[in-house]
Amino acid sequence: MNRSSLRPILLLCALTFATACGTARRGEPIIGDHEPPNEDVARGLVAFNTYCTTCHPGGEAGLGPALNNKPLPESAIKFQVRHGLGAMPAFPERVISKEDLDDISAYLIWLRHTP
Amino acid sequence: MRDAMQCDCLKHPPPHIVLKRAAVQVLLLAVLCGTLSGCYELSTSNGGAETRFTPPRQVDPSDIALPDGYRIEVVATGLTFPTGIAFNEHGGIYVTEAGYSYGEYFGTPRLLRLEPGGGTTIVAEGSNPPWNGLDYHAGSFFVAGGTVYPGQILRIDPDGLITVLANGLPSLGDHHTNGPLVSKDGWVYFGQGTATNSGVVGLDNYDFGWLKRHPGFHDVPCEDVILTGLNYTTSNPFTSLDDRISTGAFVPFGTPTESGQIIPGGIPCSGAIMRVRAEGGPLEVVAWGLRNPFALAWSPDGNLYATDNQYDERGSRPVFGTGDLLWRIEPGAWYGWPDYYGSIPFTGGFGVPDGATPYEQFRDGPDESPLQLLRDHPSEPPHPAAHLGVHSSSNGFDFSRNPAFGHEGQAFIAQFGDQAPEVGKVLAPVGFKVVRVDVDTGVIEDFAVNKGKTNGPASWLKAGGLERPIAVRFDPSGTALYIVDFGVMTVNDGQTTPYPGTGVIWKITRTGGAR
């Protein structure tokens, strides 16, 4: 391992901390009306409310951490859902289907970038 | 030679440099993973009640955020633990004060009329707190009460005369008799919460206070159930901490059970929705297998819905990560308590085939998911209409019926907010707001929340907005949504502290804009 291999980790750490300092609040009273822009995101909204919102209400912190201010790429979102992390359980495909997970990822990435 | 040595050193650094770099990388990865996972295991709880409060309560509607086109105003302040609101046919506004709060506050439950200008007039006083919920039908008020004495359903005439419609309800434990709702044909529907968190009387109930008062109290099923015979060993607070004692499900503290043991069902029962005629009469079971059906409401299309507070991480059988539920109630159905969360069984969840690894969503830290208490289940529970936040205490609710207010057909739910860490740890305050729910899709959206970088009660934010919304109700015209705000209740150092005189009634109206 050399110093160049540290750079991506340092960069991701810095990005994580920088965005984690921003607010995760995305509710309608805070940011205004924000309708899903397409079918994938609309399905993701429903799936998120079925499987995720109990611990991450509206993508904010609750029982679990906030999601709306974490710069996770789609692949990392899916990895964490499938494998779990910390107190978060793993959600196997028999629980959240591949299609639902695709939609949840699309929804989370859209919600994160909604101003 | 020196350059060559440097080059060689970079390619093959000494062992102490390799170790140092590896340590830095491991540390950074740990920090990153910790940040992404929220460091759950390492973090202390950060619930909305974990704050210090000094009266008087600030009240400022400008600290509350609403969707565009709505405004909020204060109707009344200085109430002591209000729990319900109703309107008579003349536009009169009435509220109940509980006369009790978690934290072992005991006072006088009251029915009050709100006067123009924010004053109150006493209509009736009771002696069996808490009075939970309020409805008005055919010239009379209906309330539920009871925790020191068995639960009751009361009819209160406008002159203050109180008639007991149902008595001896099993409300002496963790959860009380809740939220009466009268149908057009004169049935009084109400919820009865369970005695315990998940079926087994334990030390959490002793800490709450009721096990000392009622050592023989326990849950009662509505129909006969057959036990698996699981027992849970704890210390015995009635003798000494060294004295070990074993307790099973649906039995008094210190009573072990056996596999195949039949627990007889009965009426009244725990964790159920029951009904009684508005003029009195025998009780009927509407639905059972619920945990704490706190409030009931009719949807515009005539279906009965119920909010149901879910399991906590406490006691002999803690359950992790179960958010409150909104159910559409099907007459006669069994809703899964104490062995399911929603339609998911605790062990082998989500339909895991025999022999496969159980899905451990509900594990409590390093412990396994709770094992099942019932050998056979009456049926498969229905699917919830919505999954709400874990520990949000999603309570009183009502449906929008008027397009002039907007969101017609959606449920507006008051979220009392978490009581962490007593009910389990949270990383941030949960609840303390009003949400709206599309009951066809289960999609939840904030409706009235406190402003700020993060969500939380006003006392936690040091601001003047919402504290603990416990009920909402539309006025008869459907153009104004009233919020019953219970007031301040903190949880610090294992002590729950409610603050009398901090309850507020809020009112939200539409000011314009398409919806």
What tokens does B12 get? 């093959």
Residue A16 to residue B426, Cβ atoms within 8 A:
no
Give me the amino acid identity at B323: G
Q: Which residues of chain A make contact with B67, given a CB cutoff of 8 A?
A: 28-29, 32-33
Digitized pLDDT (tens) for each residue of chain B, 515 residues in all: 334 334 444 455 667 666 666 665 555 545 555 555 545 667 888 999 999 999 999 999 999 999 999 999 999 999 999 999 999 999 999 999 999 999 989 999 999 999 998 899 999 999 999 999 999 999 999 999 987 889 999 999 999 999 999 999 999 999 999 989 999 999 999 999 999 999 999 999 999 889 999 999 999 999 999 999 999 999 999 998 789 999 999 999 999 999 999 999 999 999 999 999 999 999 999 999 999 999 999 999 999 999 999 999 899 998 888 999 999 999 999 999 999 999 888 874 433 434 434 445 565 544 566 889 999 999 999 999 999 999 999 999 999 999 999 999 999 999 999 999 988 889 999 999 999 999 999 999 999 999 999 999 999 999 999 999 999 999 999 999 999 999 999 999 989 999 999 999 999 999 976 55
DSSP string spanning B168-208? EES-SSSS-EEEEEE-TTSEEEEEE--SSSSSB--HHHHHH
Which residues pair with residue B443 across a beta bridge? B438
DSSP string spanning B65-77? E--TTEEEEEEEE
The domain covering A3-113 belongs, at the CATH homologous superfamily level, to: Cytochrome c-like domain (1.10.760.10)
The domain ranges of chain A are 3-113
Give me the amino acid identity at B327: W
Interface predicted TM-score (ipTM): 0.88
Number of Cβ within a 10 Å radius of residue B413:
30
Would you report the helix, strand and coil content of chain A in percent, each value rounded to 5? Answer: 55, 0, 45
Number of Cβ within a 10 Å radius of residue B29:
13
How many angstroms separate the CA atoms of B449 and B63, rounded? 9
> What does the pLDDT look like over A76-112, one tens digit per residue?
999 999 988 877 888 888 889 999 999 999 999 999 9
How many angstroms separate the CA atoms of B175 and B294, rounded? 9
How many angstroms separate the CA atoms of B230 and B255, rounded? 11
Residue A86 to residue B37, Cβ atoms within 8 A:
yes
Number of Cβ within a 10 Å radius of residue B135:
21
Coil vs helix vs strand at B296: strand
Find the radius of gyration of the CA atoms of chain B. 25
Cβ(B486)–Cβ(B414) below 8 Å: no
Mutation target vs A (from B25, B443, B481; most A CBs, 10 A cutoff): B443
CB pairs under 8 A between A and B: 157
Q: Residue B90: is it exposed, middle or buried by C-beta count within 10 angstroms (0-12/13-18/19+)?
A: exposed
How many angstroms separate the CA atoms of B502 and B489, rounded? 9
Q: pTM score, two decimals?
A: 0.90
How many angstroms separate the CA atoms of B307 and B325, rounded? 6
What tokens does A41 get? 């995101």
Instruction: Give the gap in angstroms from C-alpha A64 to the nearest C-alpha of chain B.
Output: 6
